[in-house]
Structure 1
Amino acid sequence: MSLNSNDQSIAGFTMTGHALVHWFETAIPIFLVVWLAEFDVSVVFIGLIVALGYAPFGLGALPGGILADRYGPKRLIVICLAGMSLAFGVLAAASLLESIYAIAVGLLLWGIAASIYHPAGLALISTGVEERGTVFAWHGIAGNVGIALGPFVAATLLIFLEWPLVAALLAIPGMLAVVYGLTAQFDPIAAVADDVDAGPDEALSLSDLVTNSRALFASAFAIVFVIVTFEGLFYRGVLTYLPEIMHGLPVIEGLVVPGAFEAYDIEPEYYIYVGLLVVGMGGQYVGGKLTDTIPAARGLAGMFAILAVLALAFVPVSNLGIFPLLVLCAVLGFFLFAIQPFYQNAVAVYTPPDTRGLSYGYTYLGEFGLGAASIAIGGFVLGELSVAAFFVVISSFALAGSALSVALALGLDRVFDRFGAEPAVGAEG
């Protein structure tokens, strides 16, 4: 079924925002080596500086969701795009000030601005789009495009240009997107107009926030929140450590990247990693289309089970040779991103429209905030135990998510009082 004009307009707007959030996010690490040399600081110190940017990205999702419900998602997304572009402008100006602290300010501004996007963008899709699964799929693909292009463009430009100019050039697409966003026209509640009791401009008091939050976590959303957190633990752990793990594999050693510039230390595992992300675009699309036919909880249960098996298979498959490893990475990339439209749709299924921004705020607090705990857990396991133990731990996150999804599919949500409201369109059970 083709998208109607309102769906198309929302899809174009949110796809642009999603791609740019990850465009900026994944470009930041490319600057690390340059900043280390430019400012003569330690790796530990520069790591703390960069953490200033990534920490608000997850922790700010909840207030971002609250603001989306208060002021409307379109306004918030435009502010997000302008804020991220301004932040990269601050990074560019840091060279003129010759201050690492100016970089810290720029990264902090980026993290605060970027944290707005996911709760606002997904709330907009969930309330404004009729063909929700299809738009979730294209939205996810756009995010993967940004993930792949951000570091690629930044690294390529740094070959020819000074880093402040590169930072400024990376901000240009964001400013163009602001202009596009200001002119975009669509109905943000077209899909749920009959169910929404309060408009986006109605004030949200502290007592309303507490009441709405308590109501959410007294509903099936509490289960969805834990499921999303386990997905975040799996996702962040895999994407953080997979390049380092592959770097130490015997099957990777000896491979040469044809035509690579030795000065930039281009390693084969990075190309494999980018390939995994590219395959993930297909996973996003297929997963999104499947949400139109497979109930959210059942789809999550199956996807988690597959991810658990793939994690456990990584070490034995990597010992079979380079081709089996490439196939496994491709399949892992596909399902790592195919699961995302299912949990995004589950939030829409198990929450009322009036608190959708708040719901996605909590969702990405779990995904990016609590999910980041796997970075510490994974680092400890890899340092003190082994790669095999790491994948056992990662697999356990997926198995826990699968078990909870099975329980949800079997009707665990019925034990919750769901505000006395009718189930959302497409709700299970």
Structure 2
Amino acid sequence: MSTEQVGEMTDNDRSITGFVMISHAVVHTYELSIPILMVIWITEFGVSTAILGTAVAVGYGLFGIGALPAGVLVDRFGSRELVLACLAGMGGSFLLLSAAQGIVTITLALCVWGIAASVYHPAGLSLISTGVEQRGTGFAYHGMAGNFGIAFGPLLTAVLLLFFDWRLVTALLVAPAMIAIAYAVTASFDETAAVETDGGSIEDDRDSPSSLSAFVADSRALFTLGFTVVMLVVMMNGLFYRGTLTFLPDVLSDFLPDVTAQLQLFDPDSPMAEEFDPASYLYAGLLMVGMAGQYVGGKLTDRIPTETGLAVIFGSLAVVAVLFVPAAQAGTTTLVLVSVVLGFLLFSLQPMYQATIAEYSPPGDRGLSYGYTYLVVFGIGATGAAIAGYLLEVTTVMGTFVALAAFPVLGCLFALLLYRYGERR
């Protein structure tokens, strides 16, 4: 079904969308709770931003690296069981994290999380692209749910830290995965309904590689000029996404006034006053705004060429990155405004590139194509955390944001190249 066709979602569309929405929310609940915990780990374990950024980048990197073998498994076995395994593994990793005694054990626990979480995106996005007839709407709601998790994770973590030690908090965070599993096992749907509606069957096109040589052959066939340029586009997104968000709670805290003292929210000598960090709540709000970006971006994929949307959003992000620190220095109001714009634009990119992948890959290799996508977005993109940590060590916050702006600039150029030379499947 063409993404330009807009209509009502079917019962199967809604069932799949509900399944992937709750699973996607849980993945990102965990992913973005980590930067909040990092603020505590820097103090508790006495590590530098460069060391901690590199350690976290290892776990985040596996989040991407594991996507490629996960994509192969999706094309061979389907999505449902893999998503359930992903949810169970993530819950177990946070239970392990609660017992961490230092940077080495934190790294190990995050690696377990990264491996488990890496399964989700190839499985979930492949499921939408082959099972949901209203693909753009499915991507929009899927993205909104992800952003709910992205905002809910930091917010829940920050609130729990007001009352409990961080070790108990990470143990309590096992609950979202268990709740998602309880819901997911009840979902019923046809994974290939959208392909069958087009008058074909995914089985006609599916030939999941059963050997290394077959995998290489399938990969060569997948990497047309258009698909290769799409990979460069999503790489720039991944580097900017991870580089910007990983240390943002720590960065925001440098610009915010002492709201706790001004508003007298807590007794200045109470443990809650010590733990309350306004930057964590601004960070969560910024991420919540991304839900609107996901919705608008997803809806636009049904109405405009995604290559055009990508170029405009990347160009706007480059401007925001350069202006972020001057706006933050101008006052709390402008800091909030620039944070809102950053959150909206950053997350409106995701449904755009997810739909673009579907346009530049065959249905039978959708799992493989999304495997490569998230290998690039979260695997290579994880180096953005290490890059940002290093930049914050050797230069100013302003210098860091200006340097990170190079990624959306390149993303805009690659999107324009795709618009000019790419040939859709």
Normalised-by-shorter TM-score class? 0.7 to 0.9
- Output the CA distance in 1 between the equivalents of 2:296 and 2:422: 26
* Counterpart residue number, 1:338: 348
- When normalised by structure 1's length, the TM-score is 0.85
Q: Indicate whether 1:317 and 2:320 are aligned.
A: no
The RMSD of aligned alpha carbons is 2.9
Q: How does 1:66-81 map to 2 (within 5 A)?
A: 66-81=72-87
Contact 1:71 1:200 in 2 (8 A): no
Provide the secondary structure at the position in 2 that maps to 1:191. helix
Q: Indicate whether 1:43 and 2:47 are aligned.
A: yes
- Output the CA distance in 1 between the equivalents of 2:92 and 2:191: 26
Q: Indicate whether 1:123 and 2:126 are aligned.
A: yes
Contact 1:312 1:391 in 2 (8 A): yes
Cα displacement string for residues 376-413 of structure 1 (whole angstroms, at most 9, x for unaligned residues): 33333333333333232222211111111112112x12
* Counterpart residue number, 2:3: none
- Output the CA distance in 2 between the equivalents of 1:264 and 1:201: 57
Moved more, 343-352 or 195-204: 195-204
* Counterpart residue number, 2:310: 300
Q: Indicate whether 1:190 and 2:193 are aligned.
A: yes
* Counterpart residue number, 2:68: 62
Provide the secondary structure at the position in 1 that maps to 2:8. coil
Q: Structure 1 70/269 Cα, relative in aligned 2: closer, same or farther at 3 Å?
A: same
Provide the secondary structure at the position in 1 that maps to 2:188. coil
- Output the CA distance in 2 between the equivalents of 1:104 and 1:400: 31
- Output the CA distance in 1 between the equivalents of 2:404 and 2:55: 28
Contact 1:20 1:174 in 2 (8 A): yes
Contact 2:57 2:385 in 1 (8 A): no
- Output the CA distance in 2 between the equivalents of 1:395 and 1:101: 32
- Larger RCO of the pair (alpha carbons < 8 Å, separation 6+): 2
Q: Indicate whether 1:376 and 2:380 are aligned.
A: no
Provide the secondary structure at the position in 1 that maps to 2:190. coil
Give the CA deviation at 1:330: 0.9
* Counterpart residue number, 2:16: 10
Q: How does 1:99-178 map to 2 (within 5 A)?
A: 106-161=109-164, 165-178=168-181
Cα displacement string for residues 22-49 of structure 1 (whole angstroms, at most 9, x for unaligned residues): 1222334555677789xx8553687776
Q: Structure 1 397/91 Cα, relative in aligned 2: closer, same or farther at 3 Å?
A: closer
Unaligned 5+ runs, structure 1: 415-422, 425-429
Contact 2:36 2:249 in 1 (8 A): no
Give the CA deviation at 1:80: 0.6
Which letter maps to 2:111? L
Provide the secondary structure at the position in 2 that maps to 1:2. coil
* Counterpart residue number, 2:368: 358
* Counterpart residue number, 2:243: 237
Cα displacement string for residues 94-122 of structure 1 (whole angstroms, at most 9, x for unaligned residues): 48xx8997766544332211110011111
Q: Structure 1 31/280 Cα, relative in aligned 2: closer, same or farther at 3 Å?
A: closer
Q: Structure 1 109/263 Cα, relative in aligned 2: closer, same or farther at 3 Å?
A: same
* Counterpart residue number, 2:4: none
- When normalised by structure 2's length, the TM-score is 0.86
Unaligned 5+ runs, structure 2: 1-6
- Output the CA distance in 2 between the equivalents of 1:42 and 1:256: 25
- Output the CA distance in 1 between the equivalents of 2:52 and 2:326: 36
Q: Indicate whether 1:206 and 2:216 are aligned.
A: no
Which letter maps to 1:70? R
* Counterpart residue number, 1:21: 27
Provide the secondary structure at the position in 2 that maps to 1:192. helix
- Output the CA distance in 2 between the equivalents of 1:309 and 1:46: 29
* Counterpart residue number, 1:326: 336
Q: Structure 1 313/115 Cα, relative in aligned 2: closer, same or farther at 3 Å?
A: same
Q: Indicate whether 1:276 and 2:286 are aligned.
A: yes
Which letter maps to 2:358? A
Identity %: 48
Provide the secondary structure at the position in 1 that maps to 2:240. helix
* Counterpart residue number, 1:87: 93
Give the CA deviation at 1:169: 3.2
Give the CA deviation at 1:364: 0.9
Which letter maps to 2:177? G
Moved more, 212-221 or 353-362: 212-221
Contact 2:231 2:376 in 1 (8 A): yes
Give the CA deviation at 1:129: 0.8
